[in-house]
Chains A and B, each alone.
Chain A
Amino acid sequence: MNHAVQNAQKLLDELRYHLTIERVPVSKAATDLRNYVLDNQGRDFLLVKPPDNPFKPKSSCMFL
């Protein structure tokens, strides 16, 4: 029974800790995510053609 009390107390401590964290508004967080994506998608080779992708040429002959 004591174990259960300890667990409940631990959960409370955790919840109190979670309440204290400093939060940022979603608008700011989302803007930062969008900016990162838009800044980096030029180098995202699933989006843009890479200069040379070893996976792309599906020929039966290849250098070993």
Chain B
Amino acid sequence: MAGNKNASHVDTIESLKKEAEQLRKKLQEDRKNLNDAELFAMGKKPETLNLSFQVRCRRILKGHTSKVLDMDWSLDKRRIVSSSQDGKILVWDAFTTNKEQAISLPTTWVNACAYAPSGGSIACGGLDNKCSVFPLHSATSTSGSGGTTSSSSNKPAVTSSAGQGDSTAGTIMQQRKVVAMHTSYISACTFTHSDYQILTASGDSTCALWDVESSQLLQSFHGHQSDVMDAALSPCETGNLFISGGCDKTAYVWDMRTAKCVQSFQTHDSDINSVRWFPTGEAFATGSDDATIRMYDLRADREIACFSKDSVIFGVNSIDFSVSGRMIFGACNDYLVHAWDTIRGVKLGALFGHENRVSCLKMSPDGTAFCTGSWDSTLRVWA
């Protein structure tokens, strides 16, 4: 009897799989039918861009003792939070390169960090499978302007050369709030439009939405067949969508309210490491280990651009658009930041400077600069 039951289950799954294949084929055809144009080939060509004149490395932030894994800008456009394999979170003033605060976590490999919209706290997570929130001390709460005299902390738990605002191991860990718990590593975290909700992406193949106050799970997003490597919230103020990308080479668009996957795209040949929205919220781009950056349009429901070059053969770890969307930057394993003209499809050039893989890249809130972090343990600000 059990044998028969198993057999019928297998048959059911087989027929469901066949039906799924047919639906996928139909989806592909429907998408193809509307492919009546190419983004790069349309209309009058806009003027050529000259990248090298405009963008240079303007600041180098030194302080981490190991690979920088992630960074985020504060909405004040000058502060940066970074996280590293060395287990530390550093908060920087990017204008002066001063370190404002240092937090030492008990675990190494802090894969993800994020600045709260208010600037009053940061979130971070990694191999500990948790996403934690720490309050930030304002620079004025310690003493005056950023001098280099040692702080009044009696236990220098942080051995880096951080200046004012050192957080000793005891006090800062007491203020730590564990908000999210996954069953595998955290790969990305971001606050939603307020300080009170956090979206996480995890190696356990799910994304999740959490309430910061209560540490409660609000919504769980299932669909990826493998580790999720990045997630990004729609830039639209009233947006309820977010995108995720993962090791199953697929990018998903999710509705946060219903936890439903509203669109999915699978055209990369390898893991997707980074997802970023185009400024209008109607398109997004993904960076992958297959050394390409691809752009997908939500309304056309298909890939509309692929940025690649024969000379670019190393994986893309992180990407971001310039504020108008005209340029897209990719942080790569060949130690370079590559830049493309998004509407002409032309590669603009590469930025040299880092001495190891560039792991993260993010545009500042007003687009005047972008910051990169690298396995060479430094961060660089480019403008």
Where the two chains meet, the residues of A that have a C-beta atom closer than 8 Å to any C-beta of B are 1-2, 4-5, 8-9, 11-12, 14-19, 21, 23-34, 36-38, 40-47, 49-50, 53-56, 58, 62, 64
The A/B interface has a contact count, at CB < 8 Å, of: 180
Question: Do A56 and B324 touch (CB < 8 A)?
Answer: no
Give Cα A54–Cα B366 distance, bound, in whole angstroms.
12
Query: Is B95 an interface residue when CB atoms closer than 8 A count as contact?
Result: yes
Given A43-B323, A45-B368, A54-B368, 6 more pairs with CB closer than 8 A? A23-B34, A25-B34, A26-B38, A33-B280, A33-B342, A41-B324
A37-B13 contact, Cβ under 8 Å, with A55-B59, A55-B383: no
Looking at A1, A29, A40, which has the most chain B CB atoms within 10 Å of its CB?
Answer: A29
Question: Do A47 and B23 touch (CB < 8 A)?
Answer: no
Question: Do A8 and B20 touch (CB < 8 A)?
Answer: yes
Question: Do B297 and A30 touch (CB < 8 A)?
Answer: yes
Question: Do B23 and A33 touch (CB < 8 A)?
Answer: no
Give Cα A48–Cα B49 distance, bound, in whole angstroms.
10
In B346-383, which residues have CB < 8 Å from any A CB?
A: 366-370, 381, 383
How far is the CB of A41 from the nearest CB of chain B, in Å?
4
Residues in chain A near residue B39, CB distance under 8 A: 26, 30, 33-34
Question: Do A1 and B9 touch (CB < 8 A)?
Answer: yes
Residues in chain B near residue A45, CB distance under 8 A: 323, 366-368, 383
Q: Which residue of A lies closest to B5 (CB)?
A: A1
Give Cα A19–Cα B35 distance, bound, in whole angstroms.
16
Question: Do B297 and A16 touch (CB < 8 A)?
Answer: no
Query: Is B231 an interface residue when CB atoms closer than 8 A count as contact?
Result: no
8 pairs, A vs B, C-beta closer than 8 Å: A8-B12, A18-B264, A26-B302, A27-B36, A36-B280, A46-B54, A46-B369, A56-B383
Residues in chain B near residue A62, CB distance under 8 A: 95-96
A29-B324 contact, Cβ under 8 Å, with A34-B43, A58-B58: no
Residues in chain A near residue B240, CB distance under 8 A: none
How far is the CB of B104 from the nearest CB of chain A, in Å?
27
Residues in chain A near residue B368, CB distance under 8 A: 45-46, 50, 53-55
How far is the CB of B144 from the nearest CB of chain A, in Å?
10
- List the 10 closest A-B pairs by CB distance, nearest first: A27-B37, A40-B324, A44-B324, A8-B16, A55-B383, A15-B23, A29-B300, A24-B299, A1-B9, A41-B324
A5-B12 contact, Cβ under 8 Å, with A19-B30, A26-B304, A33-B343: yes
